[in-house]
Amino acid sequence: MVTPRTASLESIAPAAGREEIVRTIDVVKEYRVGDQVLRALKGVNVTIYRGEYISIMGPSGSGKSTLFNAIGGLDKPTSGKVFIDEVDVAQLDALELAWLRCRKIGYIFQTFNLITVMTALENVALPMIFAGLSEADAREKAKAILERVELGHRIYNKPSQLSGGQQQRVAIARAFANDPAIILADEPTGNLDLNTGKAIIALLKRMNREQGATVISATHDLKMLDVSDRIFWIRDGMVEKIQNRAEVVIDAGEMH
Amino acid sequence: MAELISSGTGRGAVGRQVRLPLRQALAIALRSLKLRLARSVLTFLTITMAMAFLVDVWITNALDPTVRNAILIQRHIPVVVAVRRTREIWLVVLSLLVCMVGISNAMLINVMERFREIGTMKCLGALNSFILKLFLLESLGLGVLGTLAGLLFGLAVAMAVALNHFGAVFWTLAPWGALAGILPACLAIGPAITVLAALYPAWKAACMEPVAAMRVEV
Ligand SMILES: Nc1ncnc2c1ncn2[C@@H]1O[C@H](COP(=O)(O)OP(=O)(O)O)[C@@H](O)[C@H]1O
Ligand SMILES: [Mg+2]
């Protein structure tokens, strides 16, 4: 359900002069399955600006995760280019890529992906230790971030002792550990019930506003529309249309 | 930003990243061993038994002829040159090989099971070397523990058998100096074998792509 919004919410158009943070140029991704070639992305051109909250919406199998991987430097596109902060990701060597993943981008997954043998605190501290912080500093900062996601009382719990929603909060805290410029989330609410999902979306939005991080979330969860500045509708490996939040409200009726 | 990635800041951070998280790797490795307790215990026992066999055969081979000859000389009976027990050496080498294959397989299963964890760590900025360390440390930990247990066990068996065979006179006739050399050698061989066995699985883990974090199927 998409609730109509009042005009008081300003529509955030990508005004000229805003700082670009991600740009994809003709990104094509082909998967070879046996002797078949499957084109998962068929030339994606998008530009994302610093501080935006972007939803990549589309049905299952439309290529959202594939785009997520390309933008996140997790997988090389078959052709085309991905620029992050004006750096061509394809030009980076292994060490620079590790650095990019560590400092520039925070990842959030549908399956939470916490390290099972580590406590919430250690999970959040781990990327900071990879970034070169001392263990004491990392733990102190991790504690502060966990308090911000309202898990200050569960920092010594292992993932198995936490609910799905709590695990995703830890994952969000971990994604923000190194103050990344970009947060990439793939179906962050996919494994959560309605209310927990809503709370996670609200938390992502709050962190987006407070930290100024650009949030890019692949999802087919319509609850996400409410908080998105822009929505990329993707179908069959192509961007079908790009809408501001205000436009979505007008169209909301069509979606059912 | 282009400068930032290629500048000293980025390189410096990467440099620190390589050295610092050894303690972290050790902590994760130990807890992973505990999490997969049954498999860890099985691997541990394999190493223990193989090392006990090695120690027992080695000590017995060093001790048996020496003590026997000493007894013969004491009783003024001419000494016959002892036959080397090559068959036992074959068996020991074979058991060590089987042990290596066992460790290697257990580690491979381990790596396959933990694809998501490995991929996630890579997304968090772990370098290949960190992942490599993680699995080598895990294997090394088992290797050291298994070797220590195997040493004690093998030593006890060899001593008990010798004592039973020769009687109390064994205590004065045994070549203690030579025996003392065997233990450190085994202490090196055991962990070396386990680390060697883990090299391929650990390397496979280190080469895993970060997209593995996204894979849903097991
Ligand atoms: N590793 C892969 N190998 C082969 N085909 C893949 C792989 N990953 C995704 N695909 C295919 O690419 C298409 C897009 O998948 P994906 O990006 O995961 O979609 P979404 O995340 O929108 O559900 C699908 O048809 C899927 O089957
Ligand atoms: Mg997907």
Q: How far apart are CA B137 and CA B36, in angstroms?
A: 15
What region, left, alpha or beta, does residue A43 occupy, with left being phi > 0 and alpha being psi -120 to 50 degrees?
left
Phi and psi torsions of A185, nearest 5°: -125, 130
pLDDT at site B10: 46
Contact (Cβ atoms closer than 8 angstroms) between residue B213 and residue A113: yes
Residue A128 lies in a domain: yes
DSSP type of residue B125: T
Q: Do A111 and B116 touch (CB under 8 A)?
A: yes
Amino acid at position A208, single letter: N
Report the length, in residues, of chain A. 256
Inter-chain residue contact A98 with B31, CB threshold 8 Å: no
Residues of chain A with pLDDT under 50: 1-15, 255-256
Quick one: pLDDT at residue A9? 38
- Please list every residue in chain B whose beta carbon sits closer than 8 Å to the beta carbon of residue A119: none
Q: Which three-class secondary structure state does DSSP give residue B114?
A: coil
> Phi first, then psi: what are they for A145, rounded to 5°?
-65, -40
Interface touch B17/A132, C-beta < 8 Å: yes
Q: Which atom of ligand 1 is nearest to the CA of A58?
A: 22
Distance CA B115, CA B214 (A): 10
Among chain B residues, CA nearest to A109: B214
d(CA B37, CA B27): 15
φ, ψ at A133 (rounded to 5°): -70, 155
Give chain A positions within 8 Å (CB) of B40: none
Among B113, B214, B217, B218, most A C-beta atoms within 10 A, so best to mutate, is B214
Distance from the Cα of A117 to chain B's closest Cα (Å) equals 6
Residue A236 lies in a domain: yes
On whether the CB atoms of residues B174 and B63 are closer than 8 A, the answer is yes
Q: CB distance A69–B130 less than 8 Å?
A: no
Burial class (CB in 10 A: 0-12, 13-18, 19+), A80: middle
Q: What is the pLDDT of residue A220?
A: 87
Closest CA to A240 of A249, A248, A231, A253: A231
Predicted pLDDT at B6: 41
- pLDDT of the residue at A248: 78
Q: Nearest bound ligand to CA B209? A: 1
Ligand 1 lined by A34 (C-beta under 6 Å): no
Do B209 and A74 make contact, defined as CB atoms within 8 angstroms? yes
The verdict on residue A132 lying in a domain is yes
Pocket residue to mutate for ligand 1, from A29, A31, A37, most atoms within 8 A of Cβ: A31
Residue with the nearest Cα to atom 7 of ligand 1? A31
CATH number at residue A115: 3.40.50.300
- When computed from its CA atoms, the radius of gyration of chain B, rounded to whole angstroms, is 24
**Ligand 1 mean position to A40 CA, how many Å?**
6
Answer yes or no: is the C-beta of A37 below 6 A from any ligand 1 atom: no
Question: How far apart, in Å, are the Cα atoms of A175 and each of A24, A110, A123, A129?
Answer: 22, 13, 10, 13
Q: Which domain holds residue A201?
A: 2-8+53-63+92-255
Contact residues, chain B to chain A, C-beta under 8 Å:
1-2, 4-6, 10-14, 16-17, 20-21, 23-24, 28, 31-32, 34-35, 116-117, 119-128, 130, 209-211, 213-214, 216
Residue nearest to atom 18 of ligand 1 (CA): A65
In a domain, A15, yes or no: no
Cα gap B79→B73, rounded to integer Å: 7
Domain count, chain A: 1
Assess if residue A198 is contained within a domain.
Answer: yes
Residue B13 is inside which H or E element, if any? Answer: helix B8-19
Beta carbons of B127 and A95 less than 8 Å apart:
yes
- Do β-strands A214-219 and A182-186 pair in parallel, antiparallel, or remain unpaired? parallel
Nearest-CA residue for atom 12 of ligand 1: A40
Please work out whether the CB of residue A58 comes within 6 Å of at least one atom of ligand 1.
Answer: yes
Q: Give B144-192 as a DSSP string.
A: HHHHHHHHHHHHHHHHHHHHHHH-TTHHHHS-HHHHHHHHHHHHHHHHH
**Domain assignment of residue A176, yes or no:** yes
Subunit contact B210:A74, Cβ cutoff 8 A: yes
Asked, for residue A213, whether it belongs to a domain, the answer is yes
Instruction: Write down the pLDDT at residue A85.
Output: 92
pLDDT of residue B65: 81
In DSSP notation, chain A reads ------TTSPP----TTPPEEEEEEEEEEEEEETTEEEEEEEEEEEEEETT-EEEEE--TTSSHHHHHHHHTTSS--SEEEEEETTEEGGG--HHHHHHIIIIIEEEE-TT----TTS-HHHHHHHHHHHTT--HHHHHHHHHHHHHHTT-GGGTT--GGGS-HHHHHHHHHHHHTTT--SEEEEESTTTTS-HHHHHHHHHHHHHHHHHH--EEEEEE--GGGGGG-SEEEEEETTEEEEEEEHHHHHHHGGGG-
pLDDT in tens, chain B (218 residues): 443 444 334 445 544 554 457 888 888 888 889 889 999 999 999 999 999 999 999 998 888 888 888 888 888 888 766 566 788 889 999 999 999 999 999 999 999 999 999 999 999 999 999 999 999 999 999 999 999 999 999 999 999 998 898 888 888 888 888 888 899 999 999 999 999 999 999 999 999 999 888 777 65
* Residue-level pLDDT at A252: 52
